[in-house]
Structure 1
């Protein structure tokens, strides 16, 4: 007789099931982390543009259209809108007006991005209570994986 017995096949299926139950959560975490870190350069560019606007005008801009920044082709689901939100085709949303950032010297002036999983990447502007700080909120285990320390209900990203 050639071939495998039913028991051998069941053992192989069981081993595959155990391995996939361990690997799948790690894979999902890696996907979430990648989506979050894709926001970093966009948020940094927006924060830099806000700081340039602040230097010229003495306050942060209330409208994304006033920023000297261009968006990557094919990523926006709609044009840069004056309601302060940028909606991307992958479900990511960037909120330019978070914390009333247009107010001069606002303690909570920041630019914030949110992935479709509801994880936030926040970059505090230079004229806020936490100048230059980047933080993560929404998935504690994912945010902790960046290192850093607890900060304002989330985690600082070093």
Structure 2
């Protein structure tokens, strides 16, 4: 007689249950990671316009809209996940707003916006009050999808 070797049915069921539990935890975390990486494109596109907005504001004392100065139309600034990036606001709170696409992105951030708002922190004599500015970040997306540098306002 030969002794049979291998796993029992109970042992195999325990392994399958453990794998199922790990998958139930990992899949939502991966989906959040994907959404955060897609939102990073919006951060990159808005960051690229900061200098143009500051330059326009310091020269003219008003916030630029798309098409003013060196800023192109909103549709000129897009990407794989970002539909458009627009500029505007009322001095001294100029804004840069990236709008995510409504399809082809994670469902948690579809059609959401990421807005950078310029804050004039100085009190000089030129049009922009001396040129010292900072930026705050807000979004209509849930905080879990935003980069750590963003504060959730929306």
Q: TM-score range by the shorter chain?
A: 0.5 to 0.7
Relative to structure 1, the CA distance from residue 23 to residue 64 in structure 2 (aligned partners, 3 Å threshold; closer, same or farther) is: farther
Q: What do the CA deviations read for 1:82-115 (whole angstroms, capped 9, x no partner)?
A: 3x23331x22233314xx43x5x265x3111234
* DSSP-derived class of the 2:115 partner: strand
Task: State the match for 1:120 in structure 2.
Answer: 113
Q: What is the alpha-carbon root mean square deviation over aligned residues?
A: 3.2
Give the Cα–Cα distance (whole angstroms) in 2 for the partners of residues 54 and 40 of structure 1.
21
Q: Quick check: 2:137–2:151 contact (8 Å CA) kept in 1? A: no
- Unaligned ranges ≥5, structure 2: 121-132
Equivalent pairs, count = 131
The answer to whether the 8 Å contact 2:78/2:85 transfers is: no
Match of residue 28, structure 2, among 10, 16, 25: 25
Whose Rg is larger? 2
Preserved CA contact (<8 Å) 1:64 1:96: no
| Residue matched to 1:62 | 65
Q: Larger relative contact order (C-alpha < 8 A, sep ≥ 6)?
A: 2
* Higher mean C-alpha deviation, range 111-120 or range 21-30: 111-120
What is the distance in 2 between the residues matched to 1:65 and 1:28? 38
Note the residue ranges of structure 1 that are not aligned, 5 or more in a row: 69-79
> What residue number does 2:127 align with?
none
Instruction: Name the TM-score, length of structure 2 as normaliser.
Output: 0.64
Aligned ranges for residues 101-112 of structure 1 at < 5 Å? 101=89, 105=91, 107=93, 109-112=94-97
Give the alignment's TM-score, normalised by structure 1.
0.62
The question of whether the paired residues in 2 share the 8 Å contact of 1:36 and 1:120 is answered with no
State yes or no: 1:95 paired with 2:85.
yes
Separation in structure 2 between the aligned mates of residue 57 and residue 149 of structure 1, nearest angstrom = 29
Within the alignment, does 1:14 sit opposite 2:17 as a pair? yes
For residues 63 and 136 of structure 1, the distance between their equivalents in structure 2, rounded to whole angstroms, comes to 20
